[in-house]
């Protein structure tokens, strides 16, 4: 039964590639710690090129607790078109404590539920990273210290998967933002400064997406 299933899957992949006209759809995961602005960036990209949003944004940590995918985003740069799917993943943390949600005037039952869903979201994000993405946009809050266990771990996993990765230093509109601090943390990767909220430097963002994932 397993052999037949594998054969059918192989035939399906071959047929799909024959009718795809040679164009490869790249699935790009948007990763990073909670509240780095991942969904804000996903929404910015999706709205700029499709007119649609990917998901709700919030200042409360772990607003995104399930991966959300936006397909068939055509980005046109320098005379060529790049077709990608983006996957907005839950923020990855080593521990999700329900008490952090109580600080946002959330009822205890809701806080416990949110922390449980956020923990499940972390597991889902890791599954996507290991199995289902062709490249990674790693989003960091430029106003926060990038030298954390989560960032070191995730970037290490991305490198072990041999995936192309761009590091985005988000929230450069904040006075305390430091792009150089992120450059120093991960000098082996290119860092692109931006403000997904304000739309600052999005031309370079799209140029780099086309360059790395096209």
Kindly report, residue by residue over 74-108, the tens digit of the pLDDT: 999 988 889 999 999 988 887 776 677 777 778 88
Provide the pLDDT confidence category of residue 61 given band limits of 50, 70 and 90. Answer: low
Burial 106-122 (b: 16+ CB within 10 A, else e): beeeebeebbeebbebb
Name all domains of the chain by residue range, CATH numbers in brackets. 27-54+63-213 (3.40.50.300)
Please write the tens of the pLDDT for every residue from 100-150: 777 777 888 887 887 787 778 777 887 777 788 999 999 999 999 999 999
Give the Cα separation of 137 and 69 in Å (integer).
14
pLDDT over threshold 60, residue 205 = yes
pLDDT number for residue 131: 81
């Amino acid at each position: 039964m397993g052999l037949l299933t594998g054969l059918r899957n192989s035939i399906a992949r071959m047929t799909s590639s024959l009718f795809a006209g040679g164009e490869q759809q790249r699935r790009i995961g948007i990763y990073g710690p909670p509240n780095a602005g991942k969904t804000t960036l996903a929404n910015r990209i999706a709205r700029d090129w499709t007119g649609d949003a990917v998901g709700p944004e919030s200042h409360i940590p772990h607003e995104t607790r399930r991966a959300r995918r936006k397909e068939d985003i055509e980005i046109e740069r320098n005379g060529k078109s790049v077709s990608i799917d983006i996957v907005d993943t839950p923020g990855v943390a080593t521990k999700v404590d329900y008490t952090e949600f109580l600080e946002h005037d959330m009822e205890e039952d809701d806080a416990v539920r949110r922390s449980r869903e956020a923990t499940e979201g972390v597991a889902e994000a890791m599954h996507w990273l290991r199995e289902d993405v062709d490249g990674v946009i790693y989003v960091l809050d430029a106003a926060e210290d990038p030298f954390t266990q989560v960032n070191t771990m995730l970037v290490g996993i991305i490198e072990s998967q041999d995936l192309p990765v761009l590091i985005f230093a988000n929230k450069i509109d904040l006075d305390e933002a430091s792009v150089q601090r992120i450059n120093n943390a991960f000098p082996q990767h290119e860092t692109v400064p931006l403000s997904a909220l304000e739309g600052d430097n999005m031309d370079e963002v799209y140029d780099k997406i086309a360059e790395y994932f096209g």
